Amino acid sequence: MSTLTVLLYALVVVVALLLIGIILVQPSKSGGMGAAFGGVGESVFGAQAGSHLTKATVIMTAVFFLVTLVLASLIGHGVNKGTTDGVTAALESTAVSASAVAPEAQPEAPAAQSAAPQAAEQK
């Protein structure tokens, strides 16, 4: 894999974990996970925590989708084309070797049958 692909995979994982954390901390109508950590609700994050967390969620979601689309585009357009060429070459060589073995196996059986009548004639 190329370095860019590895970096984008790492960025997707980091953004996904941050997004999970932001979503779990947001207070819902019933208090959410923010209230579960001490039962104090929004006072942990301040009075405007809901709007800030909502904005952060929207921004992180947009970053996640953008990075994922770029990663899918790079992979789909053949940044890692060398890895699929190796698999294709291995499959082709296996197919060639299998077809080379099959014709050799078939002539051996008639040769063995033709040797039997010759042996009978020599007696």
* Domain ranges across the chain: 11-19+41-77
- Predicted TM-score (pTM) of the model is 0.50
Higher local confidence (pLDDT), 69 or 48: 69
Amino acid 13: pLDDT:
96
Q: Which of 16, 19, 12 is nearest to 70 (CA)?
A: 12
What is the rounded CA–CA span in Å between residue 70 and residue 4? Answer: 11
Cβ burial of 20 (10 Å; 0-12, 13-18, 19+) is exposed
Q: What is the pLDDT of residues 11-35, one digit of tens each?
A: 999 999 999 999 998 877 665 555 5
Note whether 10 and 37 are within 8 A (CB).
no
Per-residue pLDDT for 51 more than 70?
Answer: yes
Q: At residue 44, what is the residue type?
A: V
